[in-house]
Amino acid sequence: MTHPYQSVPVRSSEITPRDVYLSRRDFIKAAGVIAGSVALAACLSSPEDAPGMTDTPAGDSPAPDVNRPAFTDELGDPANTFEEITNYNNYYEFSTNKEAVAPLSKNFTTSPWTVEVYGMVNKPKTFGVEDILKLFPQEERIYRLRCVEAWSMVIPWNGFPLASLLNMVEPTSDAKYVRFETVYRPEEMKGQGSPFYPWPYQEGLRLDEAMNDLTLIATGIYGETILPQNGAPLRLVVPWKYGFKSIKSIVKIELTDQRPNTLWNTVAPNEYGFYANVNPNVDHPRWSQASERRIGEFTRRETLMFNGYGEQVAYLYEGMDLSLQY
Ligand SMILES: Nc1nc2c(c(=O)[nH]1)N[C@H]1C(S)=C(S)[C@@H](COP(=O)(O)O)O[C@H]1N2
Ligand SMILES: [Mo]
C-alpha cells in the first residue's frame, strides 16, 4: 500500500494502519519526551508539566518531528500518533500513572457489554455494544483533547453523536441533565480499590450540551476498535470541556432533572466544576490554564476558549458568567 504520511494530505475516510506510527514512537522515546514527562497524580497534584519543569531532559536536543502524521484537525493541528494516544492515559480505575494504564488495562473484559439508557425517557433501552455499532453510523471526528492538567492531544475518534442515541430513547420534557456512569469492577480495575475516590466514576452534562453535535460516543481511534486504556468499548468525548468530562467505559446513561454529582466535583469541588469548559482566562487554583503542552511538541501553545470550539458551543452559555466553572 502507499505510505499515507508523506506530504500528501490524507482524506479522513482513509484508515491508517498502526504500524506506520511505530517509527514515531521510537522517535519520542529517543527524545525522552515520554520518559521525561513525570506522571504525577493527575488531577489532584500539580500539572504534569508545572512551570519550570521541562519535558526534555538536559542534553537532549529537540529535533524536527518528521514522523508527524498528515492527519489534522480543522485548525491544521496534526493528530497525535496512535502510540501517543494509547500510551499516555488518565484512567484512575487502573492507575494514577499515565504510562501504567496501557499495560494494566490490557486484559480488561470489554465483551459482552451493555449500556442501560433510562430515567426520564419514553423508551428506556439496554443496548449491547454490537447493536450500537449497527444502529448508529460511525463517523470519524478529529478533536483536540485538553486535559485540566494543561496537556493536550489531537485524536482521530470514530464514533457517533450522543444525540442519535438520546433521540432514540426519547427524553421527556422533564429531563434536564444526562448522567453517565463507568463500569464498577474492582476485580479487574485495581484502582477502584482506592478509598480516596467515590467509585464508580460519574459524569454529567446538561441535556442541551449532550445534544450538541460535537458531543460524541467514541468506539474507535484511527479506525481501530478503541482499546481499554482509552475507554473501551465506548466512552464519551466532549471536546470543548476539560478531559475529565469525557468519561470512559460507560455502562449507564440516565436522563434526570437533577444535576448529577461527578467524581471530580465531589473530590475537589473548588478545583473541578460541573461545567469545566476549557477557559484560558480562569486558572485552576494551583496552576495557570492560559497555555498547554501538546504531547509531542517542545514548546507550549496558548489554550483556546472552549478549546477552539466556541463557534459551535458558545450559544449554550449565553448570559452565564464564564469565570464561574460551577
Ligand atoms: N472512567 C474514567 N474516565 C476518565 C478518566 C478516568 O480516570 N476514569 N480520566 C479522564 C481524564 S482526566 C482525561 S484527560 C481523559 C483522558 O482520555 P485518554 O486517556 O483517552 O486520552 O479521560 C477522562 N475519562
Ligand atoms: Mo484530564
The pLDDT, as a whole number, for residue 211 is 98
For ligand 2, the distance from its centroid to the CA atom of residue 73, given in whole angstroms, is 20
Check whether 247 has a pLDDT greater than 80.
yes
Q: Which three cell numbers stand for residue 208?
A: 442541551
More confident residue, 50 or 302: 302
Check whether 54 has a pLDDT greater than 60.
no
Check whether 36 has a pLDDT greater than 60.
no
Ligand 1 contact, 89 CB (< 6 A): yes
More confident residue, 135 or 7: 135
If DSSP codes are grouped into helix, strand and coil, which group holds residue 266? Answer: helix
For ligand 2, the distance from its centroid to the CA atom of residue 30, given in whole angstroms, is 26
For ligand 1, the distance from its centroid to the CA atom of residue 258, given in whole angstroms, is 24
Ligand 1 contact, 192 CB (< 6 A): no
Q: Which atom of ligand 1 is nearest to the CA of 101?
A: 19
Q: Which atom of ligand 1 is nearest to the CA of 98?
A: 19
Instruction: Name residues with Cβ closer than 5 Å to ligand 2, which is an ion.
Output: 90, 147, 243-244
For ligand 2, the distance from its centroid to the CA atom of residue 104, given in whole angstroms, is 18
Pick the residue whose CA is nearest to atom 21 on ligand 1. Answer: 89
For ligand 2, the distance from its centroid to the CA atom of residue 146, given in whole angstroms, is 7
Beta carbons of 256 and 120 less than 8 angstroms apart: yes
Q: What is the mean pLDDT of residues 256-277?
A: 96
For the chain, how far is it from start to end, CA to CA, in angstroms? Answer: 50
Report d(CA 164, CA 185) in Å as an integer.
28
Q: What is the mean pLDDT of residues 39-55?
A: 40
Check whether 3 has a pLDDT greater than 80.
no
Q: Which helix (H) or strand (E) holds 143?
A: strand 139-146
Check whether 45 has a pLDDT greater than 50.
no
Pick the residue whose CA is nearest to atom 8 on ligand 1. Answer: 91
Pick the residue whose CA is nearest to atom 24 on ligand 1. Answer: 247
Ligand 1 contact, 145 CB (< 6 A): yes
Query: What mean pLDDT, rounded, does the chain reach?
Result: 85
The pLDDT, as a whole number, for residue 323 is 81
The pLDDT, as a whole number, for residue 16 is 40
Beta carbons of 272 and 264 less than 8 angstroms apart: yes
Q: Which of 81, 88, 90, 221 to mutate for ligand 1's pocket (most ligand atoms within 8 Å of CB)?
A: 90
Check whether 37 has a pLDDT greater than 90.
no
Pick the residue whose CA is nearest to atom 23 on ligand 1. Answer: 244
The pLDDT, as a whole number, for residue 326 is 62
Beta carbons of 271 and 285 less than 8 angstroms apart: yes
The pLDDT, as a whole number, for residue 5 is 29
The pLDDT, as a whole number, for residue 192 is 98
Report d(CA 128, CA 115) in Å as an integer.
6
Domain 12-324: CATH superfamily, name plus number: Oxidoreductase, molybdopterin-binding domain (3.90.420.10)
pLDDT-derived band of residue 58, with 50, 70 and 90 as boundaries?
very low
Q: Which of 94, 248, 262, 293 to mutate for ligand 1's pocket (most ligand atoms within 8 Å of CB)?
A: 248
> Which amino acid is residue 253, in one-letter code?
I
Ligand nearest to the CA of residue 295, numbered in listed order: 1
Q: What is the mean pLDDT of residues 255-273?
A: 96
Report d(CA 106, CA 190) in Å as an integer.
13
More confident residue, 9 or 148: 148
The pLDDT, as a whole number, for residue 62 is 45
Q: What is the mean pLDDT of residues 285-310?
A: 97
pLDDT-derived band of residue 322, with 50, 70 and 90 as boundaries?
confident
Q: What is the mean pLDDT of residues 219-230?
A: 97
Check whether 125 has a pLDDT greater than 60.
yes
Report d(CA 296, CA 73) in Å as an integer.
16
Q: What is the mean pLDDT of residues 58-67?
A: 44
Q: What is the mean pLDDT of residues 178-186?
A: 99
Q: How many CB atoms lie under 10 A from the CB of residue 2? A: 7
Q: What is the mean pLDDT of residues 252-271?
A: 97
Q: Which of 7-11, 26-30, 54-58, 115-119: highest mean pLDDT? A: 115-119
Q: How many CB atoms lie under 10 A from the CB of residue 239? A: 26
Is the pTM value of this prediction over 0.85?
A: no
Pick the residue whose CA is nearest to atom 1 on ligand 1. Answer: 248
